[in-house]
Structure 1
Amino acid sequence: MQKIEVDRVVREMLPYLNNQQLMRLKTVLSSLTDTTIRNEMDDNEVLLERYFAAKRTEGCSEKSLKYYKATLTKVLAAIGKNAKEIVTDELRDYLTNYQAVHASSKVTIDNIRRIMSSFFSWLEDEDYIVKSPVRRIHKVKVSTTVKETYSDEELEKLRDSCTQMRDLAMIDFLASTGIRVGELVLLNREDIDFQERECVVFGKGNKERIAYFDARSKLHLQKYLNSRDDSEPALFVSLNKNRTRLTIGGVESRLKTLGQKVGIVRVYPHKFRRTLATTAIDKGMPIEQLQQLLGHKRIDTTLHYAMVKQQNVKIAHRKYIG
């Protein structure tokens, strides 16, 4: 029996056998010839190490890898089998039990499913298994909710609440650039080009892109930087005497405090990013340009950020439909 015939038989049996059975079938069929296949019993730890090495080579960030590792380790420990022997029903049961025990949202469950799919698809691509057991576990349907954005009035209230030049510059900068808070705290003074009103930021996966800010941000940022007497290279620093680089937690805490002063319940950095995306769409910015501005790899992600206002839908209907 030739290798091509072995593969054809295995493909024909895909709907009827699990991975363990398929691998056994392939081994038996191949033994009829001198064909050798990789069938070493790699334990889960070795498989995970090889998987993460591959993801790291693809440019996956260490933060994402840490999340993937924690998730996959829990899955494999709970099922208690070699990854090459796990079947679809065992993964389904894990997701069901996890949701019941942790009262997790559908988004969380789908994130776990997505990570499992990545791992088992890699096992399939690398010929450790014949087919991924996650193939038949479909994406979890998540209800679409209208995401929060700042109104023009709320933004003005936040600006009015600022008693420190740093806070005003920070709010204007977040509102006009739409950058992530993690990107904000990594910026240095030398990264800012005031002439062109732009800066270079490093996004997810250490991807570099250009972000732009408006004239108001430029003026307030220049005033803030001119008022500083420290040598810290960071664009934004703490207000204490040490003047250390501002952290993500520091930004979140400060914005929350400013919001409480003017009675705005939920004030957080990412809301500025969503507000910029929604405003840009409402004013007619092409979605492809907005994708570039926000640094999204997939345009679907950009569409999740940009929530079109209902009033504009009404106006558009009257304009195009009548």
Structure 2
Amino acid sequence: METKIVNIINEMAEYLDAAQLRQLQEVLLSHLADNAIEKKDISNSDYLKMFLEAKAIEGCSERTINYYGTTIEHLLVTSDTPIRKMSTEELRSYLVSYQKINNCSKTTVDNIRRNLSSFFSWLEEENYILKSPMKRIHKIKTKKPVKETISDEMIERMRDNCRCKRDLAIIDLLYSTGIRVGELVNINIEDVDFEEREIVVFGKGDKERRVYFDARTKVHLRNYLDSRIDTNNALFVTLDSPYDRLKISGVEIRLRQLGRKLDLDKIHPHKFRRTMATRAIDKGMPIEQVQKILGHSQIDTTMEYAIVNQNNVKASHRKYIA
């Protein structure tokens, strides 16, 4: 029955505007009793629950699912309109109001737009709505400042000022592999192949891949593991008993504290990842291989991480153009 309604709406699309098409949809649904009852029994919160369950099945991380839930739920609690009747105008007005009330950046608003777009696209794919009202709300243009990387001098200063074998091993592992902090804390000792200097990690969506580390990292990892007195199979654990697996927040706090101590700007795990990608491309590694190491499904994402060294651009210009 839903397919027939969609076909009717599509055939009438060239004759009616958006508001008229919505009205036609409601009339058709109201006269098709079985279908109307089925849809009206589903509340806004039920739609959200089903969407989040679908994302979980697709392999999205708990962190991502929570972000979807928070942003979409905020829309639902601020609007009395049933999801199936939400219009483009209402959603656009919501985004404008959200930015004004929360005084947030365009990047934050665009992230919310993407989450809402994903939600309504799913509703359309599942035939709960005929057309996503988010389709006409396009990406919000934002400034893309050049994000800084960690210089060789900064890395040496951090290494020299580490008073903990664990933190030294973490710094070198992040710097040489470019892994995500969530991947780092989930590594087990048996995942590390010291002979081949490689590690099996599980990225977003539990996708397995191999990353590689250098000889310096191997030495510091060995030194750290040899100093441990616990039996936890996690590669990195807390410094004090009961020596639990180290959490993401634990890594972030230690790096931030070290950065502040050395008066270094914004030292965090993701900065190591961006730095690794930039170094690899600057030294001539093909972008496809950098993509593989970072675990990106889209090469465009890899390009956003990588910042080509301006000196290399200048040298290339002189070589090929000047």
TM-score (norm 2): 0.91
SS where residue 304 of structure 2 aligns?
helix
SS where residue 17 of structure 1 aligns?
helix
2:25 to 20, 23, 26: 23
For residues 177-220 of structure 1, give each alpha carbon's deviation from its aligned partner in whole angstroms, at most 9, with x where no partner exists. 11111111111111110011001111122221111100110111
CA distance in 1 between partners of 2:34 and 2:146 (Å) = 52
CA distance in 2 between partners of 1:138 and 1:194 (Å) = 48
Are the structure 2 counterparts of residues 236 and 56 from structure 1 closer, same or farther at C-alpha, using a change threshold of 3 Å? closer
**Match in the other structure for 1:239:** 239
Return the offset for 1:112: 0.9
Structure 2 counterparts to residues 58-97 of structure 1, below 5 A: 58-97=58-97
Question: Are residues 1:198 and 2:198 paired?
Answer: yes
CA distance in 2 between partners of 1:224 and 1:295 (Å) = 27
Return the offset for 1:18: 5.8
2:14 to 12, 15, 19: 12
Q: Which moved more, 1:57-66 or 1:136-145?
A: 57-66
Return the offset for 1:27: 4.4
Q: Which 5+ residue runs of structure 2 have no aligned equivalent?
A: none
**Match in the other structure for 1:230:** 230
For residues 83-141 of structure 1, give each alpha carbon's deviation from its aligned partner in whole angstroms, at most 9, with x where no partner exists. 01111111111100100011111111011111111111122222222211111111001
What letter corresponds to residue 35 of structure 2 in structure 1? R
Conservation of the 8 A alpha-carbon contact between 2:58 and 2:205 = no
Return the offset for 1:265: 3.1
Conservation of the 8 A alpha-carbon contact between 1:19 and 1:87 = no
Structure 2 counterparts to residues 1-322 of structure 1, below 5 A: 3=4, 6-13=8-15, 15-17=17-19, 20-27=22-29, 38-39=35-36, 40-41=39-40, 42-322=42-322
SS where residue 210 of structure 2 aligns?
strand
Conservation of the 8 A alpha-carbon contact between 2:150 and 2:275 = yes
**Aligned Cα root-mean-square deviation (Å):** 2.1
Return the offset for 1:7: 4.6
Return the offset for 1:37: 7.5
CA distance in 2 between partners of 1:314 and 1:171 (Å) = 31
SS where residue 57 of structure 1 aligns?
helix
CA distance in 2 between partners of 1:66 and 1:241 (Å) = 31
CA distance in 2 between partners of 1:118 and 1:199 (Å) = 33
SS where residue 211 of structure 1 aligns?
strand
CA distance in 2 between partners of 1:26 and 1:12 (Å) = 18
SS where residue 19 of structure 2 aligns?
coil
Conservation of the 8 A alpha-carbon contact between 2:185 and 2:247 = yes
SS where residue 209 of structure 2 aligns?
strand
Return the offset for 1:36: 8.1
Conservation of the 8 A alpha-carbon contact between 2:9 and 2:24 = no
Q: Which 5+ residue runs of structure 1 have no aligned equivalent?
A: none
Conservation of the 8 A alpha-carbon contact between 2:150 and 2:272 = yes
What letter corresponds to residue 49 of structure 1 in structure 2? K
CA distance in 2 between partners of 1:108 and 1:127 (Å) = 29
Return the offset for 1:229: 2.2
What letter corresponds to residue 129 of structure 1 in structure 2? I
CA distance in 1 between partners of 2:261 and 2:120 (Å) = 50
Return the offset for 1:293: 0.4
Conservation of the 8 A alpha-carbon contact between 1:88 and 1:137 = yes
SS where residue 209 of structure 1 aligns?
strand
CA distance in 2 between partners of 1:208 and 1:18 (Å) = 49
For residues 252-282 of structure 1, give each alpha carbon's deviation from its aligned partner in whole angstroms, at most 9, with x where no partner exists. 2211222233332322111111100111111
For residues 133-180 of structure 1, give each alpha carbon's deviation from its aligned partner in whole angstroms, at most 9, with x where no partner exists. 111111001111111211110100000001222222111111101111
SS where residue 229 of structure 2 aligns?
coil
For residues 277-306 of structure 1, give each alpha carbon's deviation from its aligned partner in whole angstroms, at most 9, with x where no partner exists. 111111111111111100112111111110
% identical aligned pairs: 53
Return the offset for 1:8: 4.7
SS where residue 60 of structure 1 aligns?
coil
SS where residue 38 of structure 1 aligns?
helix
